[in-house]
Amino acid sequence: MRTSYHEELASILDSLVHMAELVEVAIREGSESLLTADLGRAEAVITNDAELDQMHEEMEYKCLSILALQAPVAGELRTIVSAIRVVFELARMGDLAAHVAKIARLRYPAHAVPSEFEPSFREMADIAIQIIDQARVSLQERDAKGAERLAEIDSRMDDLRRDQFTRMLADDSTISIEGAVDVALLGRYFERFADHAVAVGRRVIYIITGEVPEGEDWPNA
């Protein structure tokens, strides 16, 4: 019975890694649909988001069942409680990728991103892919040091977001109202995507070390 229990714990972490892989595909494809006005890619990201939502529900149920039936303690309890939070963070990241794709679909056949902001959003997309990949690897390898790097990657995303607002509000800005709304929303989606990845990293650190990382929001534990 105990062997089966530990296999269940391992399968939960493996499922989180798989879910992170799906999120990485979602943000990559969602970003490309945005930057290239690719309707097919946008539709695929929006449709596939249902799979991530389903995984969220199934894994949350599995974790709660283990809590109720196995009464885990110490490191095992940390793993289960953290997994519940990680699966939530990953599901939200999938939702944000779908939001990006929905704006691409809304503006099709036009490009949603004004041309002067395309380099900024291309870099945001690259950072989003980098940060979910780093989160996935830290989960897969149980790498606390790798998880700590997520906050460093996120700082560049914050810089880009601030720069976008500075440019939109500049006296010589020629951006339209519609364009400004799209830039503001899209910038927020990418920024929040990175924030959720950082939250995943904090949970990985907690699973491995048992220590509460700086910035952890324990009322949501």
The model's pLDDT over 193-202, given as tens digits with 9 standing for 90+, comes to 999 999 999 9
Tokens of residue 29, six digits: 């494809």
Nearest Cα residue to 147 out of 94, 93, 192, 211: 211
- Distance (Å, whole) CA 133 – CA 181: 29
CB of 121 closer than 8 Å to CB of 113 = yes
CB of 210 closer than 8 Å to CB of 163 = no
Mean pLDDT, residues 23-30 taken together: 98
The more confident residue out of 13 and 108 is 108
What's the CATH code of the domain at 166?
Answer: 1.20.58.220
Three-state SS at 171: coil
pLDDT attached to residue 204: 93
How many domains does the chain divide into?
A: 1
- Work out the mean pLDDT of the chain and round it to a whole number: 91
Q: What is the pTM of this model?
A: 0.91
% of the chain exceeding 70 in pLDDT? 94
Range of the domain at 174: 2-220
220 pLDDT above the threshold of 70 = no
- Distance (Å, whole) CA 185 – CA 180: 9
- Spell out the residues 6+ positions from residue 44 whose beta carbon is closer than 8 angstroms to its own: 29
Mean pLDDT, residues 62-85 taken together: 86
pLDDT attached to residue 213: 63
CB of 39 closer than 8 Å to CB of 112 = no
- Distance (Å, whole) CA 67 – CA 80: 7
